[in-house]
Structure 1
Amino acid sequence: MRTLQIQKQENGISQLLKSTLNYDPEIQHQYAIIIPCYNEEKRFAFQEFKTFALEHPEVLLCLVNDGSKDRTLAVLRGIQTESPNNIVVFDMPQNGGKSEAVRQGMLFVHKNYDSKLIGFLDADLATHPEEWLLMAKYKEAHPKFGAIVGSRIQRLGAEINRDDSRSLASTVIKKIIKSILKANFQDTQCGAKIFQRNLIPFLFKTQFKTPWLFDVEIFLRLQEKFGKTTLQKGVLEYPLLQWSEIGDSRLKLKDTIKIPLQLLGLYYHYQVKSKPKGILSNKKSNFSYQLN
Structure 2
Amino acid sequence: MSELAIVIPCYNEGQRLAIALFRDFLTHTKGVQLLFVNDGSQDNTLEILRPLETSYPQQVTLIDLPKNEGKAEAVRHGMKRAIELEVEKVGYLDADLSTSLEECYLLSKHVQTKTPFVFGSRIMKIDNRIERKWYRFLVGRLVATVISKMLRIKVYDTQCGCKIFTRTTAQILFQEHFLSKWLFDVELFFRMIKFIGRPQMALQVKEIPLHQWIDTADSRIKFSYGFFLWLDLIKIYRHYR
Q: Residue 248 of structure 1: CA displacement?
A: 1.3
Alignment partner, residue 108 of structure 2: 136
Structure-1 separation of matches of 2:230 and 2:189: 17
Name the one with the larger strand percent: 2
What RMSD in Å do the two structures reach over aligned CA positions?
A: 1.3
Instruction: Note the 1:1-292 alignment, pairs <5 A.
Output: 28-111=1-84, 113-140=85-112, 143-249=113-219, 251-271=221-241
* Runs of 5+ unmatched residues, structure 2: none
Query: 1:81, 1:248 → 2: CA distance?
Result: 28
- Separation (CA, whole Å) in 1 of partners of 2:73 and 2:184: 9
Q: Is the 8 A contact 2:111 2:165 kept in 1?
A: no
Q: List alignment gaps of at least 5 residues for structure 1.
A: 1-27, 272-292
Q: Deviations over 1:86-145 (max 9, x none)?
A: 11111111111111110000001112x1111100001101000000011011334xx411
Moved more, 219-228 or 117-126: 219-228
Deviations 1:176-208 (A, max 9, x none): 101111111010000000011001222111211
- 8 Å CA contact 2:3–2:31 kept in 1: the answer is yes
| Cα distance between partner residues in 1 of 2:137 and 2:192 | 28
Identity %: 39
Q: Which residue pairs with 1:276 in the alignment?
A: none
In the aligned structure 1, how far is the partner of 2:111 from the partner of 2:168? 15
The residue type equivalent to 2:8 in the other structure is I
Preserved contact between residue 169 and residue 256 of structure 1 (Cα < 8 Å): no
- The structure with higher relative contact order (CA 8 Å, sep 6+) is 2
CA drift at 1:230: 3.5
**Cα–Cα, structure 1 residues 230 and 213, in superposed 2: closer, same or farther, change >3 Å?**
farther
CA distance in 1, matches of 2:82, 2:225: 31
Please state how far the C-alpha of 1:57 moved relative to its aligned partner.
2.3
What code does the residue aligned with 2:171 have?
Answer: P
CA contact (8 A) 2:120 2:207 kept: yes
* CA–CA separation in structure 1 for the residues paired with 2:126 and 2:111: 23
Deviation at 1:168, TM superposition (A): 3.3
Match of 2:186, SS state, is helix
CA distance in 2, matches of 1:225, 1:182: 15
TM-score by length of 2: 0.95
Paired residue secondary structure (2:94):
coil
Query: Following the alignment from structure 2 to structure 1, what is the Cα–Cα distance between the partners of residues 160 and 72?
Result: 13
**121-130 vs 168-177, which moves further:** 168-177
Aligned residue identity for 1:193: K
Paired letter, 1:103: R
Does structure 1 conserve the Cα–Cα contact (< 8 Å) formed by 2:111 and 2:166? Answer: no
The structure whose Rg is larger is 1
Alignment partners' CA distance in 1, 2:123 and 2:212:
10
Structure 1 residue 224, shift from structure 2 partner = 1.8
Q: Which structure is higher in helix share?
A: 1
Residue 238 of structure 2 aligns with an amino acid whose one-letter code is Y
What amino acid is aligned across from residue 79 of structure 1 in structure 2?
Answer: L
- Counterpart amino acid of 1:72? T
